[in-house]
Structure 1
Amino acid sequence: MAQVCSITGKRNVSGRRIHRSGLAKKKGGVGRHVTKVTKRTFQPNLQNKRIWVPELGRFVRVRISAKAIKTISKNGAYATLKKAGLI
């Protein structure tokens, strides 16, 4: 299963991790230097949730991010899920 939020569409994003060596100039060294750059991925904070939708009178299972949970709390379950095309 892909790491994608059902509501916001958040997904994995690639980036880089930088490794630096040396002592900072202000601490008496010759300065910090980048010695290696490696790839990494930033993953969304996804949760599997059962959300109660009063208008439908049933639970809906969704895989959503923490931000989407806050959006549902603010705008309501039915409106948010309908806008996302899940119901």
Structure 2
Amino acid sequence: MARVCQITGKRTRVGNNVSHANNKTKRKFYPNLQTKKFFIPEENKWITLKVSASALRTITKKGISAVLKEAKANGMAV
């Protein structure tokens, strides 16, 4: 699976390594992804999502049901 957050859509970004001599070489910035299991009480089942650390904070704040509803509306979630 790709390195993409299933809630926020964060993905790998591209940038440069810049040396002291100001030489630039390509590098990748990977999102901080975690694989987590969440229980959805409405459906009485567990789901496994690959989510970024910022998405985990959002889930903690709003709840998994609200976040999944938002993500589906934005075309992101499973």
Structure 2: give runs of 5+ residues left out of the alignment.
none
Separation in 2, partners of 1:50, 1:41 = 27
Report the number of matched residues.
74
Which of 65, 70, 73 pairs up with 1:78? Answer: 65
Per-residue CA distance 1:22-65 (angstroms, 9 max, x = gap): xxxxxxxxxxx42x111100000011111011122111111110
The RMSD of aligned alpha carbons is 1.3
Structure 1: give runs of 5+ residues left out of the alignment.
21-32
Structural mapping, 1:6-85, within 5 Å: 6-20=6-20, 33-34=21-22, 36-85=23-72
Q: What fraction of aligned residue pairs are identical, expressed as a percent? A: 43
- Which structure is larger by alpha-carbon Rg, 1 or 2? 1
The 3-state SS of whatever aligns with 2:2 is: coil
The list of structure 1 runs, each at least 4 consecutive aligned residues, that deviate by more than 6 angstroms after superposition, is: none
Separation in 2, partners of 1:59, 1:69 = 16
TM-score of the superposed pair, with normalisation by structure 1: 0.78
1:17 aligned partner, one-letter code: N
